[in-house]
Amino acid sequence: MNTKETFAVFAIATTVVMSMAFFFLVEILSQSKNGSAASKQVRNFVWKKAAGFLLLGIIPAVNAWFLFREGPVQLGLVAGTSRIWLWFIPAALFFITLNAFNSRKEDLRRLYPEMRLMRWDARMLGLSAAGWFLYLFAYEYLFRGILLFGCYEAFGLWPAVTINLALYSALHLPKGLKESAAAIPFGALICWFTLDSGSILPAVFLHFLQAFSCEVWCIIRNPEMKFEFKKIRS
């Protein structure tokens, strides 16, 4: 195999192994019984997102650099072409609006927000946003940076996209078949965003807005949850 094919095999193997390690660790964390229900929810969320940042982002990125000298610039951590950003705003508005409608469904509200808190203040909302952003930044670096670009350089467009969507959809199976199926068109869109722009940043920001807006809408729609923002005293 040439260097491009070797890196593509590394990218596929890394995605599979690190995803399995991540879910194994999440399962261990979910079995923790220490602390109150609310503190457990917060602690598990923080550890889950931190684990994702490490296992799906830092470790694959370090290995890609030291083994193949594939760094952030080569793997799409650049501004990218400006044309794709013209599509970004309507795409973001579409998914935010879609989440507003989908959040009416009880099965979605059983999954989100991930922290099952009855009261949400600015601190908890900020924690949720920060956790999702760090996690999805690492996630997109692996899936659309290492995996997509690696397979694209080695195998071409359609094999790269097919491999990417297959693994991306499989990673959503623990949350049910509906979410796994929904991951395919969304994944195809951000694969296009990434390849057309040469950057993973549109995918990072679109994925974050999609995930976080889903959390917010599910909080709004959940009759057992509410926002409690304290007024700032003058």
Q: What is the pLDDT of residue 2?
A: 72
Q: What is the pLDDT of residue 180?
A: 87
pLDDT digits (tens, 9 = 90+) for 125-162: 999 999 999 999 999 999 999 999 999 999 999 999 99
Residue ranges for the chain with pLDDT beneath 70 = 1, 32-36, 231-234
Q: What is the pLDDT of residue 33?
A: 61
Q: Which three-class secondary structure state does DSSP give residue 227? A: strand
Query: Could you give the CA distance from residue 17 to residue 55 in angstroms, rounded to a whole number?
Result: 9
Q: Where are the alpha helices (DSSP H) in 148-200?
A: 150-155, 157-171, 177-197
Return contacts of 225-228, CB within 8 angstroms, 24+ apart. Answer: 225/113, 225/117, 225/118, 225/119, 225/120, 226/118, 226/119, 226/120, 227/120, 227/121, 227/125, 228/119, 228/120, 228/121
Q: What is the pLDDT of residue 56?
A: 96
Distance spanning both ends of the chain, measured CA to CA: 68
Q: Do the beta carbons of residue 10 and residue 150 sit within 8 Å?
A: yes
Query: Could you give the CA distance from residue 186 to residue 164 in angstroms, rounded to a whole number?
Result: 12
Of 55, 70, 88, nearest to 171 by C-alpha is 55
